[in-house]
Structure 1
Amino acid sequence: MKILHALIFLGLSLTAGIATAQSAAKCPALPESSGLQWQEQSAATYVLCKATAADGREVMTMMLTGRDPDIPLPRPLRQEKGNFAGESLYWYQPDLGGQQPPGYATRRMTVVKFDKNRYAQISLYPSDASELRALQALSQGMNLNPSAVAAER
């Protein structure tokens, strides 16, 4: 009987620990000076972080996952070099099947593997070239180390 009680207690403890871990924020900290706020959506296999500006515009999305998103990034769409989480990368214009909606010239996306089985798919939706540079610099400075993210909050 004592073993049964111990197993039930252990199960409840593990369930509480999992619920606490899932409720903790998983998006990297944004500097207060950026004026951006994350809207976070979590699932079992990914975390989706959407950064919105004070005027409500979505300016960045970041999907953090343990699986390679396997998005084709054709060389002709390659734009600027950059860094993310200590890894070198290229920013690409998104392939929209030949469509070029307003703001297309400054839209960027990338996929980067930044740790063993950890990927970030980042999309930027700036209003102009100046905001593009600011968002690229912001993403370059993000810390995805879980202990550092918790300490920054």
Structure 2
Amino acid sequence: MNVLRAVVCVCLLVTAGAVAAQSTSECPSLPASSGLQWQELAQRDFILCKATAADGREVLSLTLSARNPELPLNRSLRQEKGSFAGETLYWYQPDLGGQKPPGYETRRITVVKFDKNRFAQIALYAGDKSELGSLQTLAQGMSLTPSAVAAGR
């Protein structure tokens, strides 16, 4: 019985530690009204933030890195103008080699150099035009945390 209590206590401490580690997110803060939750993967040279909606769909991904992703953005696929971290950008439809799967019309991607050797690659997976506009506005209003800006340490 004492062994069982010890195991339960250790499990609770490990879970509490994991929750505390998650609360120190390196991803930009999301407004509570957005209804989105980050899933975060922080590595030595990049931070990957995936925002999921209440229904479990991934609607936004953000990769912060000191390395340029050198993603080719075809001018013919250029769509809306926007901004991120104070930098002007254009949103592009992703180049999927001519394929246009369901929802393609509301997918967007961009790369922004926002500081000396700091890059953000942002992808949006909106369900419709209204959600696309909301996600673009959300991305425009994101403020980067000091630790997120230091990505690629």
Give the TM-score category using the shorter length. 0.7 to 0.9
Give ranges in structure 1 of 5+ residues lacking alignment. Answer: 1-20
Q: Name 1:8's counterpart in structure 2.
A: none
Deviation at residue 53 of structure 1 after TM alignment: 0.2
Q: Name 2:92's counterpart in structure 1.
A: 92
CA distance in 2, matches of 1:145, 1:85: 11
Q: Name 2:144's counterpart in structure 1.
A: 144
Counterpart code for 1:33:
S
Deviation at residue 87 of structure 1 after TM alignment: 0.2
- Could you list the per-position Cα deviations for residues 25-77 of structure 1 after superposition, in whole angstroms to 9, with x for gaps in the alignment? 21000000000000000111100000000000000000000000000001000
Structure 1 128/137 Cα, relative in aligned 2: closer, same or farther at 3 Å? same
CA distance in 2, matches of 1:113, 1:148: 14
Q: Name 1:118's counterpart in structure 2.
A: 118
What's the RMSD between the two structures over aligned residues?
1.9
CA distance in 2, matches of 1:104, 1:133: 15
Q: 1:4-153, aligned counterparts within 5 Å?
A: 24-146=24-146
**Local SS of the residue matching 2:44:** coil
Structure 1 104/25 Cα, relative in aligned 2: closer, same or farther at 3 Å? same
Counterpart code for 2:118:
R
- Could you list the per-position Cα deviations for residues 97-147 of structure 1 after superposition, in whole angstroms to 9, with x for gaps in the alignment? 011000000100000001111110000000000000000000000001417
CA distance in 1, matches of 2:69, 2:142: 20
Structure 1 147/44 Cα, relative in aligned 2: closer, same or farther at 3 Å? closer
Q: So what's the TM-score if we normalise by structure 1?
A: 0.80
CA distance in 2, matches of 1:112, 1:87: 7
**Local SS of the residue matching 1:73:** coil
Structure 1 72/31 Cα, relative in aligned 2: closer, same or farther at 3 Å? same
Q: So what's the TM-score if we normalise by structure 2?
A: 0.80
**Local SS of the residue matching 1:70:** coil
The number of residues matched between the two structures is 128
Q: Comparing both chains, which one has the higher relative contact order based on Cα–Cα distances under 8 Å and sequence gaps of 6 or more?
A: 2
Give ranges in structure 2 of 5+ residues lacking alignment. Answer: 1-20
